[in-house]
A and B are shown apart, each in its own frame.
Chain A
Amino acid sequence: MTAETGRARPPLYVEDVQEGMEIPSLVKRPTTVTLFRYSAVTWNPHKIHYDREYVKEEGYRDVLVQGHLHGAYLVQMLTDWMGSQGMLRKFAWTNRRPGFPGDTLTCRGRVARVYEENDEHLIDCDVWEENQDGETCVPGTATIALPSHPR
């Protein structure tokens, strides 16, 4: 265990989930430091994430949140919610609108379908990340496998 370790995520069971229910939201406020470190850990030299002069040439008002970081935020919302016994099976997202340092990015989701396949309980979810103006930056979908409540 290291100092960074957070609380245990309580388990989520398929019996706790209904179609149409909302996934608890996750709020993120990335800074220029977040973007710098994300580029560093993914060894990404793309200037649109750190060079404020260059990014104006591409027509943006500020450096851009990495598309994969938007994806990572949505994944975190899902893994927080699915708890210690869930497994993320599929995840897809589309970068539709840019995010900037200082934005308040809220990840949200809704259960679209609960079903069984190959003796597993699966949950399909619609997910999206929106900015402080309520605009959708990144829509996506996910599939999670959940256990049944122990009897």
Chain B
Amino acid sequence: MTSESMITDEARALIGQESEAVLGEVTLQDIQRYALTIGDDNPLYFDEEYAKATPYRGIIAPPNYLTAVISWGNGVPEDELTADGLGRRRDGEYAFPIKAQRRMAGGQELEFHQPVRAGDLITRKSRTTGMEQREGKSGPFVLVYSEQRFFNQRNELLVTCHQTAIMR
């Protein structure tokens, strides 16, 4: 039996639309807290003299840092969070117009064009590239595909990310 479509017309209309957001500045503390948390003591993230002698020519952020941050800025007030804590609620469902209550990261394909450094002011251009509904063992789910491109204050492309989100 095929389940009813979880993908709304409103969601389909998002495909291909690009949005742009200024995310904010990456600080040396952001970089080093991230490295410390993942247990990575690579001097590329801590020692400027060492980092200058690498092809990166200075301290950089761990490569998957930018695309691992879930909320830039302040995020969402607690009483507006969805039941799972992740999203902004709207009529009991995600603001993203898929008929689903739960969301998970499926994975990312990253291409690193330029390193991310302390002091970089990050802008992100995002667009939803597609979505498809599938039947899983525990019911239907939707895969939402998107592309994010991250730029610094000199409009240099830093990272391209193709991401899959699972909504069920």
A residues within 8 Å of B by Cβ? 1-2, 4-9, 28, 34, 37-38, 40-48, 51, 54, 58-59, 66-69, 71-73, 75-76, 79-80, 84-95, 140, 147
Contacts and interface: CB of A to CB of B under 8 A. Distances in A.
Contacts of B56: 87
A93 B161 CA distance: 11
A47 B43 contact: no
Contacts of A93: 107-108
B68 A1 contact: no
Contacts of A48: 84, 104
B105 A79 contact: no
Contact of A28 (B39, B42, B43, B68): B39
A43 B42 contact: no
B13 interface: no
Binding site of A, secondary structure by majority: helix, strand, loop or mixed? mixed
A95 B104 contact: yes
Contact of B69 (A34, A43, A45): A43
A43 B43 contact: no
Interface in B73-94: 75-76, 81, 83-86
Given A1-B47, A46-B84, A67-B107, A79 B37 contact: no
Contact of A71 (B34, B64, B76, B164): B64
Contacts of B36: 4
Contact of B71 (A43, A54, A87, A91): A43
B70 A95 contact: no
Considering the complex of A and B, which 3 residue pairs feature the smallest CB-CB distances, nearest first?
A6-B41, A68-B68, A67-B105
B64 A46 contact: no
A59 B83 CA distance: 15
Contacts of A40: 37
B112 to A, nearest CB: 6
A73 B37 CA distance: 11
A41 B44 CA distance: 19
Contacts of B138: 59
B23 to A, nearest CB: 11
Given A7-B41, A34-B39, A87-B112, 7 more contacts: A6-B43, A37-B37, A40-B37, A43-B72, A46-B70, A51-B85, A72-B64
A46 B84 CA distance: 6
